[in-house]
Structure 1
Amino acid sequence: MKKFFPFSLVLALSVLCASKSLAFYFSPFVLKLELKKGEIYKQTFIVGNSWSKSIKCAISVSGWELLRSGEVVCETVQKSYSAASWIKIKEVEFNLPSGGEKKIEAEITVPKYASAGDYFASVAVKASILEDIKQKGVTQSVETCFRSALQIHVFGFMPSVKAEVIEFKVIMPEEKEQDIKIFAALKNFSRVHLDARAQVEIRNSAGEIFDRFDLYGAGKNIRGDAFVYPEGIRDFWGSISRPLAEGEYVAEISFVYGSRFQTNKAAINFVVSRELGQKQKEFLTLIVEPELLEIEVSPKSFRTKTVKISNLDFEALEVQIVSQEDWLKVKPDVLKIQPGKTKNCRIEISIFEEVEREGRIFVQPERGKVKEIDVIVKVKEVEKR
């Protein structure tokens, strides 16, 4: 069975091999397979040359791993989760003429005694192009590269998935215009990857809730689920979004992970000084609710969502709401909000293709911290009859 990776991981994998030109293309870009022990699976990759000259192609196979920092590596990976040795490709070097396209046949053989779990491989195509340098009378070789990243889930009995918070701390700012940051690390004790998300709740000593917000998986710039490698660690970061008065507080983090939405929690005490409380009050002038929009839509559809923006400042604020995506529109895009008041804006989402999308909207007050609204759009699968 074939499945596709979530959009956020596709973005992480896209930096594995940066193309210096659009000289050729390679597909599929990422692929997820579910196979049985001992199963032999045949996969076709397609290489195409859109360059004006012939190119020389070389194919290599390695494992890949997502580190706790969110960085993807292909060479120094855990061998226990590498499927590189399972993949055999007969023709690993060939020339491709201008405008040509070639099918590469790969055979994936799952060992009969493989343990159940997730395994990873990367198929890379490196192309060399001889290019004349004008006015110098010399020729140089230009190399460009693309990778196809595979995740193979091997069926079989496994203990229940398990993850735990192994680090959790509150980091106080050193300068006036900085956030109080939250850091946490989640350890995956399972043989399968986990999609995990983290939410933090801030309470005072009386148990009153002052703030609640999501953390980012390290290496991501969008909130939401983060990929945690089998038996790996993933760091998570976030910032307290509301100004806190002087006093004692408790930060409690709750991770939700796995297909059964299991949870793991941790808590830590911290103190906000009078000086820090005043600095945060001057810095954090807006509240935006919600800061994360997750929407499932049908292809070629239009949706709207309402966002509330509140002014925490002691004076009126002019606020600009800016989208850098053509499929995300904001109306109105400028608001004048009186102190202590709230106004709404409407987010318009237009989806014309069957592709998951992630975007960000910036809420910019005339003074104080810029707030962000993350938008994740998932496209419903259309049943074919």
Structure 2
Amino acid sequence: MHLKHLKLRVFVLIMLGLFMILSGDVAFAVGVRPLVIEMIVRPGDERDFVIDLIPDTMEELVDLVLYEPVQQLSGGLTYQLPVNPGFSATSWVTFDNDSIRVLPGQDTRVTGTVRVPFSASGSHTVVMMVESRPPDDPSGFTFRVRYAVRLRILVERAGIRPTAELNSLEIGPDQQGAPRITARFQNTSALDYLVSGEVTIRDQDRRLVERVTLRTPAGSSTGTDTTRVYPGAEVEFAGSVTRPLTPGEYWIQAFLRYGESGQILRNETIVVNPGEYVFPGFGELAAIAVSPSVTDHELHAGERKSQIFEFESMVGEPVRVEIALGEIMPDYEYSLVDWIELRSQPEFVLPARVKTRLAMTIAVPRDSVDGSYHGKAMFKAYSPVSGSLLSESVVPINVLVGTEQRRDIQIRSLTAQTTEEGTYLSLDVVNNGNVAFLPQISAVISDKDGVFVERVIFALQEERGILPRQTKHMMALAATLEAGTYNVEIEVTYGGVGILTEIHEVVVSN
């Protein structure tokens, strides 16, 4: 049996809503394309665009109305009529006709023009609402559809760059009493950009407890870790802590990346008191033990390989085990989830204190290109009586296909932050190669006059490597640096072979 990975995505920004109004017996059904228009312009430019209205089987009258998007704390968008039209990008947009009669049998093309003021700069979004008019003499109920066509305008101007602030970082109980981390992120620039984040939790000995991915409610609903944040908007990113935190002191470090190279780093120390949090579904011991804890295979295109997992019940009652496959990230180019065949039912009951085995088959397609491919098997143990989650095991599955291995690292950004322990250098990198690997990264720090200050080593702790197309956050601790500007020469190697050498400038402020 194949386990197929099903992704359901609901793009609420495409359609403003479906409204029930008093009108005739016929539902309006004019279609629209495209739903997103993007243009890069300069101050003073004039640019035309077109929208095609796709007819139904009857004549309809359609109005075009301009709205402004407003970003909510959840990351989602609502739309409103311009509050100050003279200061809104909606005033840049005009149509040759904003009331259009759409006849059946042929598409109707609407032409619009964007006239960019000479004073404009940055990102601007205009929502063009396509609204069908109800009949003049309504006699019943029907549905009226309004389509939101987004016009994204980037006005290029020298000197503008993405900036941001982290307004707050907090941890507190959620509705079930489990710890939940929230971060309020604000876009302080004139540009919109994508934002993602994570928090690492370490105990007082700096041992990693958990790495928590931060998402917005809007991102969670569409299955993505990134959210586009618009100029001036404040958006809340959050993530739940699933590993038990025993009473004591913990060090949490929030890392949010934005745009092409922006990053924010925030360190906080928290104290967990006895009984402060609960951890639903996780007891002192796991309900089942799964081995192996990770699987690695080297295969050729067209080859098949069996993978055996062994399960052992660790509790004195039967448990129901559910099996699922998971992606490393949405739309992952190097996913192997579709290669895996489960040779049993996707769930079974494991008797108390008993061991059993389960087999999967990894079938590499014949047309696969060389590279490393990745996924994960997830095993959840439930109580068959109450249905509550007892424990969960996640096993990475890695397959290296072929012999052509390309290792390539891109440095996205480098920042510095001084604490009581010294000056932390925060490095954001992405693996642009075709295989997973653990690079060795070192850096030589020099002052603005080129005088050597210190050499540091960046650590990617508790990680087996960086997967293809994956971004990772690495840290190095230097002695406390005085405030000022420093040159950092970064060297990336693997197995003693040089991959990259770059010099970056970093500003230290105390």
Match of 2:75 in 1: 70
Q: Is the 8 A contact 2:185 2:235 kept in 1?
A: yes
* 1:90–1:268 CA distance, 2 compared to 1 (3 A): farther
CA distance in 1, matches of 2:362, 2:231: 37
Offset at 1:346? Answer: 8.5
Match of 2:207 in 1: 208
Q: Is the 8 A contact 1:37 1:155 kept in 2?
A: yes
TM-score, normalised by the number of residues in structure 1: 0.70
Percentage of pairs with the same residue: 16
Alignment of 1:215-230 (within 5 A): 215-221=214-220, 222-230=223-231
Offset at 1:179? Answer: 3.3
SS at match of 1:219: helix
Q: Is the 8 A contact 1:130 1:139 kept in 2?
A: no
Offset at 1:340? Answer: 12
Q: Is the 8 A contact 2:249 2:269 kept in 1?
A: no
Match of 1:194 in 2: 193
* 1:81–1:254 CA distance, 2 compared to 1 (3 A): farther
Over residues 113-164 of structure 1, what are the superposed CA-to-partner deviations in whole Å (9 max), with x where a residue is unaligned?
22x211110111101355999xxxx455642211111111101123442212
Over residues 165-212 of structure 1, what are the superposed CA-to-partner deviations in whole Å (9 max), with x where a residue is unaligned?
11111112454xx53211111111111012111111111112111000
Whichever residue aligns with residue 40 of structure 2, its letter is E
CA distance in 2, matches of 1:57, 1:209: 58
Q: Is the 8 A contact 2:178 2:278 kept in 1?
A: no
Q: Is the 8 A contact 2:216 2:237 kept in 1?
A: yes
Offset at 1:369? Answer: 7.0
Whichever residue aligns with residue 75 of structure 1, its letter is Q
Match of 1:353 in 2: none
CA distance in 2, matches of 1:49, 1:129: 15
Alignment of 1:278-293 (within 5 A): 281-282=282-283
Match of 1:30 in 2: 36
* 1:285–1:30 CA distance, 2 compared to 1 (3 A): farther
Match of 2:183 in 1: 184
Whichever residue aligns with residue 97 of structure 2, its letter is E
CA distance in 2, matches of 1:154, 1:9: 30
CA distance in 2, matches of 1:146, 1:310: 52
Q: CA RMSD in A?
A: 4.6
Over residues 196-249 of structure 1, what are the superposed CA-to-partner deviations in whole Å (9 max), with x where a residue is unaligned?
111111111121110002111232213422111112211101111222333332
TM-score, normalised by the number of residues in structure 2: 0.54
* 1:185–1:317 CA distance, 2 compared to 1 (3 A): same
Whichever residue aligns with residue 203 of structure 2, its letter is N
Offset at 1:25? Answer: 0.9
User: Which runs of 5 or more structure 2 residues have no equivalent in the other structure?
Assistant: 1-6, 21-26, 291-301, 303-308, 366-376, 383-387, 395-510
Match of 1:383 in 2: none
Correspondence for 2:116 among 96, 99, 110: 110
CA distance in 2, matches of 1:276, 1:210: 16
Alignment of 1:1-385 (within 5 A): 11-18=11-18, 23-50=29-56, 52-75=57-80, 82-114=88-120, 116-130=121-135, 138-139=139-140, 142-173=143-174, 175=176, 179-221=178-220, 222-273=223-274, 276=277, 281-282=282-283, 314-315=314-315, 318-321=321-324, 331-332=341-342, 333-334=346-347, 364-366=380-382, 367-368=388-389
Which structure's CA Rg is the greater one? Answer: 2
SS at match of 1:158: coil
Q: How many residues align?
A: 331
CA distance in 2, matches of 1:88, 1:348: 55
User: Which runs of 5 or more structure 1 residues have no equivalent in the other structure?
Assistant: 1-6, 289-301, 303-308, 351-360, 374-385
